[in-house]
Amino acid sequence: MAGMLQRLLTLGALLLLTGFASALKGPPELSAFLGWPLSLGCQYEEGFRTHKKYWCKGPRRNYCAVVVETDGTEAEAKAGRTSIQDNHRRLEFTVRLEDVSQEDAGIYWCGIKQVGYDPGFQIQITALPEFASALKGPPEVSAFLGWPLSFGCQYEEGFRTHKKYWCKGSIWSSCTTVVETDGTEAEAKVGRTLIQDNHSRLEFTIRLENVSQENAGIYWCGIKQVGYDPGFQIQITALPGESASKPVGISKQN
């Protein structure tokens, strides 16, 4: 409890200093196990649809080093183990990191190129000790109240056409299914929660619109099969705050 309080106070201090990035939103904190992939989404406003998007690393937004960036289209761009891809329809770009290592931990920024200062949003990534599982995702994700949230769960080749689902509850065997796929890549939606599988990436994405306090809690990414379903637990924390009118700006040092 004390640790969580300290994290909230730290985030609060940061937001007072910089203001919320109202034009660009993402999860302020994610964790990933060493050797696992990590996938996260950053959402932006309509006016930035065809702007170049990027992912940069560094504690100071005005000196962060660009890791990878788009060319303004929906084409995937990759640099080393990190890729970025924009989705103009969803107004969201996705950052994916393969095979997380200790050096990947740190402070990053989702950014959008424009004339003047770039909109940016800070994300803290924590690397956790190795852990083996057939289904992988971020064990902890946080989101501000009223903001969208998007992340991915990765699975093994043998589960490509199986139904995937998202359920809530502290006990895996009795969690309540929120939304599930039909085994295809078609998007499924229930209320404010969406799920969509990507067979080529071996990953299904969970998207939550307009996070509320009731969305906080313990969830599971799951895969249906004969017998016992593979599942992976994810803790979602809802953080207080509302989007301010003043965006955060980034000036880059290339």
Question: Does 249 score more than 60 pLDDT?
Answer: no
Q: Which amino acid is at 120?
A: G
Q: Per the structure block, which two tokens stand in for 54? A: 């990027």
**CATH code where residue 211 lies:** 2.60.40.10
Nearest to 83, CA basis, from 99, 73, 103, 97: 97
For residue range 125-184, list pLDDT tens digits in order.
Answer: 999 998 888 899 999 999 999 999 999 999 999 999 999 999 999 999 899 999 999 999
pLDDT tens profile 167-186: 999 999 899 999 999 999 99
How many domains, in total, are found in the chain? 1
Binned at pLDDT 50, 70 and 90, residue 11 comes out as very low
Q: Is this model's pTM higher than 0.85 or not?
A: no
Domain with 87 in it: 2-250
Selection from 199, 206, 83, 213 nearest residue 146 by Cα: 213
